[in-house]
């Protein structure tokens, strides 16, 4: 392989790999910033319920934190601290990834 082809191959590889990496990082970072103080650093529960191993689907978690639920206590009455749909999806996937 000549160096031009190698450069092209490397660049394409990075383009494929980077979105996946930043996606995972965002969910974890958003969780730590917006959820961990109540639900625990590892989703194990703190002052509020554990999320690790929740029976809720990622879609249900997203709905809960983006549309809110008036039957719940204040934190989830409104979108949690203005999460965007992308952040909410990343956080929901992060929670589902906790083992």
Q: Closest separation between CB of residue 41 and ligand HEC, Å?
A: 13
d(CA 56, CA 11): 38
If 0-12 CB within 10 Å is exposed, 13-18 middle and 19+ buried, where does residue 94 land? Answer: buried
Q: Which two tokens stand for residue 59?
A: 């879609």
68 binds ligand HEC (CB under 6 A): no
48 binds ligand HEC (CB under 6 A): yes
Q: Closest separation between CB of residue 27 and ligand HEC, Å?
A: 10
Q: Closest separation between CB of residue 25 and ligand HEC, Å?
A: 16
């Amino acid at each position: 392989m000549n160096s031009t082809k190698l450069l092209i191959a490397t660049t394409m590889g990075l383009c494929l790999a980077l979105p996946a990496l930043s996606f995972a990082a965002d969910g974890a970072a958003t969780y730590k910033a917006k959820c961990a103080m109540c639900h625990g650093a590892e989703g194990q529960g703190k002052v509020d319920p554990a999320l690790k191993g929740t029976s809720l689907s990622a879609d249900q978690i997203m709905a809960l934190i983006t549309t809110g639920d008036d039957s719940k206590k204040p934190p989830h009455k409104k979108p949690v601290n203005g999460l965007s749909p992308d952040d909410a999806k990343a956080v929901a996937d992060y929670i589902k990834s906790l083992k």
